Structure 1
Amino acid sequence: MKVLLSILWTATAAPYSVRRGARVWAALIGLPDPDGKGAARVNDALRTLTKEKFLRSDRQRGKTAELTLLSELGTGADYSHPGEAWAAAKEADPRERRRVQRYVKLPVTLWTSGWIAELDGAALAMLLILMSAARGRDPEDLWFTPQVASDRYALSETTRARGIAELKRYGLVAVYRTPVVRDHISSRRFRNTYTLNTHVFELHPEAALEAAAAKKPETPLSPIAAVERLGLQR
């Protein structure tokens, strides 16, 4: 995932291809021993991405392989830039526009401040999920049921919990146990809601850790506070 995201970050113009050796990708995403074991791990990742039709790898003797992006759907179709597709769809019929895949932008500081190397795979996966969930919604009241999380993203509960814990440790997400309130009557049912703090990416990971450690821990919202926060009427 880190390798694919990094290729998406660098191959920004048609034909959406790039020539970089495995050592370069290993160093960029912070793998140890980038000249040896790190490069080997990247090559394994590239083979998997090629097999699953996310990339095409064109090799020429004596040259670094040219990596060309393919559709994120894994169909093997040519890659199309989501921003260009969305811009074109805005001029089209509204029904056609709804069929265009929407997208989210990752902050450039994910790479320039070293976050891509700092976050583990589970945390990065949950970051992408939360950013997708926040698209067009209030980033302070994100939630999804375990069933939806499992069906849509095929991540285990252990992976989700580990990823959220890592994001929380850096202050990238705040987690609240919020009562499920349908009216003014107190509820004993709770669910996790998430607040996404993407501004934390402006900090270096070490600074983010210090800032997060200095904050008071989150506490569950009272039913009345939950009503007010969700904008419900008593």
Structure 2
Amino acid sequence: MKTTPDAAPNMQDAKATGRDTRTAVLKRSIRTNVPLRKTFVQANAGGDSRHGPLKKFVTGRDLRGLKAYLLIVAACSNGDNGWSTTHDSMVWARMLDILETANDQSARTGAWRALIRLRDRHKLIDCRRSGTKITVTLLREDGTGKPYERPLGDTEEDRYLQIPATFWTTGRDEQLDLPGLAMFLVVAREKNWSPFPLEKAPEWYGWSADTHERGLNKLLALGLAERREKYITAPLAPAGFTKTYQYKRTAAVQPRKAKKTVAATQ
């Protein structure tokens, strides 16, 4: 009896995507939510400036670097390997979606350069190479170059926001441009239904009111933030009040509650 040979295996169909790689990294770190010190987004009041390290990514138009940094925090902040993680440079390239637009060697180089920027320009990580392997170690989120410690939230400098792992595993990160990702972190830093006035953006965060507005509109368009009107008494205004807007993250990107483990009954 004549048989039909099996179709030739297709390596391309089996190849992991960037999202596959990010998901695998998050599963290995065993995190439901990723902690990030609030000082990365905005410095605490009382200093010379309210600008946090996030400002440099926005004004430098470094979306790849910002995405890389957030992934490194997700991969390293459980502390199992001394706040470090090691991958082949090709895995780093795929994790950062560099392989989509570059050949293998260029992708390896692009991944290393992105990590070097985080080390030398931002002082947020340390990194080293051994052959094709790259090891990255977290430093403190405030850009001081100090060693990383897990934030506990018991002091003002140690307060942190949380990003759910599903932000990456469901592809929410892939939808955001640089203003959108920056404003996602800004909204996540504050309590639900906080105002983010456009005119305060240069003073509070270090970027323009236009960038601020575009980021907020991006979050609303993608269903990652909600907005409501708030009326404030203003005796000297013609109408006697002014209108402002308040924002909060939608349920899709709120921190997840850790699953409770149920003890086995005997």
- Cα distance in 2 for residues equivalent to 1:175 and 1:150: 21
- Number of aligned residue pairs: give it: 182
Residue 7 of structure 1 corresponds to 72
Deviations 1:94-116 (CA, angstroms, capped at 9, x unpaired): xxx43441001101101111112
Q: Distance in 2 between matches of 1:120 and 1:68?
A: 26
Q: Deviations over 1:18-57 (max 9, x none)?
A: 1124543443344533655665554332121111211111
1:191 aligns with 2:244: yes
Distance 1:35 1:17 in 2: 27
Between stretches 20-29 and 160-169, larger displacement belongs to 20-29
Contact 2:199 2:209 in 1 (8 A): no
Q: 1:43 to 1:108 in 2, by over 3 A?
A: same
Q: Is residue 111 of structure 1 aligned with residue 168 of structure 2?
A: yes
Which is strand-richer, 1 or 2?
A: 2
- Normalized per residue, the structure richer in helix is 1
Give the one of 50, 55, 58 matched to 2:128: 58
CA separation of 1:98/1:155 partners in 2, compared to 1, >3 Å: closer, same or farther?
Answer: same
Q: Which runs of 5+ in 2 are unaligned?
A: 1-65, 255-266
Matching residue's letter, 1:75: T
Q: Deviations over 1:202-222 (max 9, x none)?
A: 9xxxxxxxxxxxxxxxxxxxx
| Match for residue 49 of structure 1 among 95, 118, 121 | 118
Q: Which residues of structure 1 form unaligned runs of 5+?
A: 87-96, 203-234
Distance 1:158 1:22 in 2: 36
Distance 2:108 2:227 in 1: 36
- Provide, for residues 174-226 of structure 1, a one-character-per-residue CA deviation record: whole Å limited to 9, x for no partner: 2334332369x9645222221321x2249xxxxxxxxxxxxxxxxxxxxxxxx
Partner of 1:98: 155
1:71 aligns with 2:140: yes
For residues 150 and 174 of structure 2, the distance between their equivalents in structure 1, rounded to whole angstroms, comes to: 25
Map of 2:182 onto structure 1: 125
Aligned-residue offset at 1:4? 0.4
Preserved CA contact (<8 Å) 1:30 1:117? no
Higher relative contact order at CA 8 Å, sep ≥6: structure 1 or structure 2? 2
Cα distance change of structure 1 residues 187 and 38 upon mapping to structure 2, 3 Å threshold: farther
Matches within 5 A, 1:1-234: 1-11=66-76, 12-13=78-79, 14-31=81-98, 32-33=100-101, 35=103, 41-51=110-120, 52-60=122-130, 62-83=131-152, 86=153, 97-134=154-191, 139=192, 141-181=193-233, 187-197=240-250, 199-201=251-253
Partner of 1:219: none
Alpha-carbon offset, residue 127 of structure 1: 0.8
Q: Percent identity?
A: 25
Inter-partner Cα distance in structure 1 for 2:103 and 2:112: 12
Deviations 1:63-92 (A, max 9, x none): 412111111111111111113xx4xxxxxx
Contact 2:180 2:219 in 1 (8 A): yes
Query: Within 1, Cα distance between the matches of 2:145 and 2:92?
Result: 23
Q: Which amino acid aligns with 1:194?
A: Y
Query: Matched residues in 1 for 2:139 and 2:202: separation?
Result: 26
Cα pair 2:96 2:111 within 8 Å, conserved = no
